[in-house]
């Protein structure tokens, strides 16, 4: 018998993906996993595992018996903005197929994940396990995990409530562990606060040049009004190539007609953009069901932006985020803090911050925040609302709406140093009008 473990960093071979799906399906049928009580089907599992490879915070490990994948697990790090937990990692999605148990695969897999967490600089690894999974609990305990808490309502399976156990393992060496344990903060202890940690390395902000499509052409709107559009180019694909040649590493594309129609409309233009460059494309506008999400992600779009449907069908967002981890983004557009939908034609009573928190809970990879009253007006971003949103969330926030000069980008860059949850900015009219050069924008943002 030859048991090996590895971290998956590139696309699966067809055989590996087939074996992983088979093992996962068997594991779910044996007692659930990944949040599923019943297997969701081969296509959904394939999308799930391929999507994991696009999420920087998640490391996927597999265990093989004689070269065949028989189990998997994930080491999950907190987002960069979650500074208080920077030294922790979580093990999740851990399983060994029932037909491969009793051969030491689970122990080998956990050890590989612990080593991976150490290599990332993590000092503590956490996991949670259903109380009914006695073998898994015994395995973690035998490897030094300590049981520190119990969730009385962890899951509902077959009409019954199942409790869950929370387990942790300190990875630090003996000397460092003693130092950690001697410095545990106690409430009202009266002790002096610990020195503030050194500031994290400034990673820069990502620039997303915007390509807004109306009737197949590149345009920019003012305050989201379709009647107030400035026409810039009849060749969106050429525009995309120009952004790539200038050094941009991402594209932000919006189907304006689709946003109002509720379905994708500028399909040839979008397909031409995707074909014209190698840049990741995030696409929004009129994408309101799983068929449309499937269609665009399979067509080569990197991430799909869900806007109006985030308000009207949050279950769809949750379903999509589960099916495509790391590839679903919530677009939150607001007028004076209240969410607008249907291509900004309708304003709801829902607060932008409330929707953002719901979307984070649904599992989206990021939030794009736009204050509509500033969009296309070149008067500057709404920095206060953007920063407040980023402080409340543990997922990245991308700023949008109002960039008109280089100083607006510098102001955002300065705030992002104190609010690391802000990770990027969308710029449109100012680039097309020449008010900001792409070179200057990339330099100011330290763009990545």
Task: For residue 333, indicate whether it is catalytic.
Answer: yes
Q: Measured between alpha carbons, how far is 427 from 400 in angstroms, rounded to an integer?
A: 7
Q: Measured between alpha carbons, how far is 357 from 349 in angstroms, rounded to an integer?
A: 16
3-state secondary structure 267-323: HHHHHHHHHHCCCCEEEECCCCCHHHHHHHHHCCCCEEEECHHHHHCHHHHHHHHHH
Task: With CA atoms as reference, report the closest residue to 24 among 46, 4, 3.
Answer: 46
Q: Measured between alpha carbons, how far is 25 from 22 in angstroms, rounded to an integer?
A: 5
Catalytic residue among 15, 65, 255, 333: 333
Task: With CA atoms as reference, report the closest residue to 309 among 295, 291, 297.
Answer: 291
Task: With CA atoms as reference, report the closest residue to 22 among 68, 82, 53.
Answer: 68
Report yes or no: 420 and 81 within 8 Å, Cβ to Cβ.
yes
Q: Measured between alpha carbons, how far is 291 from 102 in angstroms, rounded to an integer?
A: 41
Report yes or no: 172 and 182 within 8 Å, Cβ to Cβ.
no
Report yes or no: 18 and 28 within 8 Å, Cβ to Cβ.
no
- With left for phi above 0 and alpha for psi between -120 and 50, is residue 66 left, alpha or beta? left
Q: Parallel, antiparallel, or unpaired: how do β-strands 338-341 and 328-335 relate?
A: antiparallel
Cα atoms in the Cβ-side hemisphere of radius 13 Å centred on 33: 27
Task: For residue 15, indicate whether it is catalytic.
Answer: no
Terminal alpha carbon distance of the chain:
45
Catalytic residue among 212, 375, 382, 388: 212
Q: Which positions are catalytic?
A: 212, 333
């Amino acid at each position: 018998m030859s048991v090996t473990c590895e971290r998956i960093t590139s696309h699966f071979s067809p055989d590996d993906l087939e074996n992983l799906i088979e093992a996962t399906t068997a594991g779910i049928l044996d007692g659930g996993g990944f949040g599923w009580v019943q297997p969701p089907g081969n296509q959904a599992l394939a999308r799930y595992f391929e999507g994991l490879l696009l999420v920087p915070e998640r490391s996927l490990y597999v265990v093989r018996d004689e070269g065949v994948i028989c189990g998997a697990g994930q080491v999950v790090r907190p987002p960069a903005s979650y500074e208080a937990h920077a030294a922790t990692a979580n093990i999740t999605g851990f399983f060994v197929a029932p037909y491969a148990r009793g051969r030491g695969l689970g122990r080998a897999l956990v050890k590989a994940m612990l080593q991976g967490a150490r290599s990332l600089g993590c000092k503590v690894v956490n996991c949670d396990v259903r109380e009914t999974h006695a073998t898994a609990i015994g395995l973690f305990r035998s490897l030094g995990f300590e049981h520190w808490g119990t969730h009385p309502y962890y899951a509902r399976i077959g009409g019954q409530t199942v409790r869950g156990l929370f387990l942790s393992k300190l990875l630090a060496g003996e000397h460092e562990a003693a130092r950690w344990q001697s410095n545990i903060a106690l409430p009202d202890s009266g002790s002096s606060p610990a020195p503030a940690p050194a500031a994290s390395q400034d990673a820069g902000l990502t620039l997303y040049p915007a390509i807004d499509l109306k009737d197949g052409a590149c345009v920019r709107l003012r305050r989201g009004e379709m009647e107030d559009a400035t026409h810039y180019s009849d060749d969106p694909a050429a525009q995309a190539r120009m952004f790539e040649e200038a050094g941009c590493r991402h594209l932000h594309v919006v189907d304006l007609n689709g946003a109002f129609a509720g379905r994708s409309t500028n399909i040839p233009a979008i397909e031409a953009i995707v074909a014209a460059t190698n840049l990741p494309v995030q696409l929004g506008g009129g994408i309101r069901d799983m068929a449309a999400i499937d269609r665009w992600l399979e067509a080569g779009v990197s991430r799909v932006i869900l806007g109006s449907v985030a308000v009207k069908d949050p279950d769809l967002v949750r379903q999509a985020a589960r099916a495509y981890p790391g590839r679903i983004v919530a677009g939150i557009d607001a007028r004076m803090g209240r969410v607008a939908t249907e291509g900004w034609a309708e304003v709801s009573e829902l607060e932008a911050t409330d929707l953002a928190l719901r979307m984070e809970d649904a599992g989206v990879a990021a939030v794009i925040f736009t204050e509509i009253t500033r969009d296309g007006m070149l008067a500057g971003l709404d920095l206060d609302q953007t920063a407040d949103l980023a402080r409340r969330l543990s997922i990245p926030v991308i700023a949008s709406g109002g960039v008109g000069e280089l100083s607006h980008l510098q102001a955002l860059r300065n705030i992002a140093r104190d609010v690391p949850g802000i990770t990027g900015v969308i710029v449109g009219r100012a680039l097309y009008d020449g008010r900001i050069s792409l070179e200057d924008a990339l330099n100011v943002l330290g763009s990545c």
